[in-house]
Amino acid sequence: MANPRVGKLDIVTTSLFISLIILGWIMYYAVTYDPNSTVSAFDLTKGLGKETLWVGSSIILFFLVQVLDSRVWSGFALIFYAIGILLLIGVIFFGSSIKGATSWYTFGGFSFQPSEFAKFGTALAVSSVLSGPSDDMANPKTRLIAFGLLALPVLLIMLQPDAGSALVFTSFFILFYRKGLNGNIYVIGFILVALFILSLIYPSYGILMVLLAAGLVFAVNKRDKKSQEYAMIAGALIFGFYFMDKAWSIVPLALMMIRRVVLYFTNGDLKKLVFHFATLLIAVGIVYGARYFYDDVLEPHQQERINVWLNPSKCDPRGSLYNVLQSKMAIGSGGLTGRGFLKGELTQLNYVPEQSTDFIFCTIGEEHGFVGVALTIFIFLALVLRLTYLAERQRLSFARNYGYALAGILFFHFMINIGMTMGLFPIIGIPLPMVSYGGTSLMMFTLMISVMIKLDQSRHSKG
């Protein structure tokens, strides 16, 4: 007799999940289709056969998770996290190098990427920590532990190095916000990231001028009319000297900033002085640190990826810019309804590199047009929203936390992947969940989603 405390399988989430798996298999078939040869869907020596194997295995895994006790995931959360960390350490020494990153274990004709499992283990561990007695991110100890659990896998993944997979872990800040992390941190983070990006586009001294002028504006005392006048002069200097390309024009701004420091000392506003000085110092460090990072830390091929994103005019259209140009062309050529299934010319002639993995979205755009693209985005958004809905209706804090962690990971993946294909984000090797070719990604997303569905089934349980 069935346990009355265990609910029914969530049909909406399951249907959206299965739809994406089917879409992925069909799109991979379209990418590899050759009218002059016949390839069996069960031939494991071919990509299509391997994809069929992964799809079948993922379905089995999905239902296997539904049979297991839901308490396994919360009870052994830290053990799964530890396994993920050990796999990340091991791949550095025993992994295979693919495209410059030692990120894979290879077994015969198959490969496994431990960073995908680490996302799952980290989601479980962070969810467990944030479901304890002091589960509020406003608690310094809880915040320190949560950040530490996040930092360790990121550090190990960067040692591979695989910046794309490491960036996925920033999606956990969606969960952190839900758990009470101060919203000002996100505003400051956004400003610092924007400053870093702008520093890669514009001259450093120009950015520094803007920062000094902004510092003066924020330091203005409304009762001090002279300060207002100086702030207006600073604005005039920006528009007058910066566009004349005169680096020495930063001197008047620096002198005005020194004047403000003297006024702070005179008025006894030491706290304001320390705050503004520290903020300006951090901003200046980011400005010059960004240029150092680009020139002296990044490899040439990594610099090219950034140029493709931020300065495409500097790139060779037959070189590093080729992928993005062909991707945009493929998506745009689909029009409203697409060229038709198996009729994508750019897809069939392999004009788009990596079109079965990172650029699988191009195939959808070319063969099924705007309608197919919109439907795909709708399915992903619907799944993300459904996961947040499931999270909110959970009675147990662990399940609620895990739902938000999963929704964040899924949203980050599909947003960045689609953005890559359209040139909105740099090409960092993020697959489209359940759609891009790849057994590790498919199995891990299947595991993560099926665990959430199982937790939702058991939400009425007291265990």
Q: What is the DSSP code string of 312-338?
A: GGGS-TTTTTHHHHHHHHHHHHTTTT-
Nearest partner of 443 among 51, 67, 126, 133, judged by Cα: 51
Q: Where are the alpha helices (DSSP H) in 95-224?
A: 114-129, 140-158, 163-168, 172-178, 183-199, 204-218
Nearest partner of 404 among 178, 84, 182, 180, judged by Cα: 178
Tokens of 359: 């650029």
Q: What confidence tier does 237 reach under pLDDT thresholds 50, 70, 90?
A: low
Tokens of 76: 């052994």
Tokens of 144: 């320190």
The interaxial angle of helices 204-218 and 183-199, nearest 10 deg, is: 150
**154, 146 contact by CB (below 8 A):** no
Q: What confidence tier does 418 reach under pLDDT thresholds 50, 70, 90?
A: very high
Q: What confidence tier does 250 reach under pLDDT thresholds 50, 70, 90?
A: low
Q: What are the distances in angstroms from CA 178 to CA 199, 226, 406, 413, 451?
A: 31, 44, 13, 20, 20
Mean pLDDT value of segment 319-336 = 83
Percentage of residues in the chain having pLDDT higher than 70 = 81
Q: Which pLDDT score is estimated for 225?
A: 54
Report how far residue 411's alpha carbon sits from residue 409's, in angstroms, rounded to the nearest whole number: 6
pLDDT tens digits for 98-126?
Answer: 767 788 888 776 788 999 999 999 999 99
Query: Which residues 6+ apart lie within 8 Å of 304 measured at CB?
Result: 315, 319, 320
202 versus 385: which is more confidently predicted? 385
CA 412 from centre of chain: 4
Q: Which pLDDT score is estimated for 441?
A: 92
Q: What confidence tier does 5 reach under pLDDT thresholds 50, 70, 90?
A: very low
pLDDT tens digits for 150-196?
Answer: 999 999 999 988 888 999 999 999 999 999 888 888 888 888 888 88
183 versus 204: which is more confidently predicted? 183
Q: Which pLDDT score is estimated for 244?
A: 44
Tell me what the pLDDT averaged over the chain comes to.
83
Report how far residue 106's alpha carbon sits from residue 142's, in angstroms, rounded to the nearest whole number: 37
Q: Find the range with the poorest average confidence among 33-37, 263-267, 368-372, 409-413.
A: 263-267
Report how far residue 441's alpha carbon sits from residue 154's, in angstroms, rounded to the nearest whole number: 18
**27, 421 contact by CB (below 8 A):** no
Q: Find the range with the poorest average confidence among 24-38, 179-193, 297-311, 323-337.
A: 297-311
Nearest partner of 452 among 55, 5, 62, judged by Cα: 62
Q: What confidence tier does 319 reach under pLDDT thresholds 50, 70, 90?
A: low
Q: Which pLDDT score is estimated for 267?
A: 67
Residue 221: HSE in the Cβ half-sphere, 13 Å Cα cutoff: 13
**200, 310 contact by CB (below 8 A):** yes
For residue 281, pLDDT beyond 70: yes
Report how far residue 289's alpha carbon sits from residue 208's, in angstroms, rounded to the nearest whole number: 12
Return the SS3 of 140: helix
Tokens of 56: 């079948």
- List the 96-98 sheet strands across, edge first: 96-98, 101-107, 110-112
Q: Which pLDDT score is estimated for 387?
A: 97
Nearest partner of 405 among 131, 163, 220, 52, judged by Cα: 131
Phi, psi of 4 (to 5 degrees): -65, -15
Q: Is 430 left (phi over 0), alpha (psi -120 to 50) or beta?
A: beta
**202, 238 contact by CB (below 8 A):** no
Nearest partner of 23 among 45, 55, 63, judged by Cα: 55
187 versus 446: which is more confidently predicted? 446
Which DSSP letter does residue 102 get? E
Kindly report the CA angle at 359 between 402 and 19, in degrees rounded to 5?
50
319 versus 400: which is more confidently predicted? 400
For residue 390, pLDDT beyond 50: yes
Q: What confidence tier does 428 reach under pLDDT thresholds 50, 70, 90?
A: confident
pTM of the model: 0.85
**127, 391 contact by CB (below 8 A):** no
For residue 352, pLDDT beyond 60: yes
Nearest partner of 89 among 78, 105, 73, judged by Cα: 105
Query: Which residues 6+ apart lie within 8 Å of 265 measured at CB?
Result: 273
Q: Is 22 left (phi over 0), alpha (psi -120 to 50) or beta?
A: alpha
Nearest partner of 88 among 113, 106, 110, 120, judged by Cα: 113
Highest mean pLDDT, choosing among 267-276, 363-372, 452-461: 363-372
Location of structure tokens 């299947």: 446
**49, 106 contact by CB (below 8 A):** no
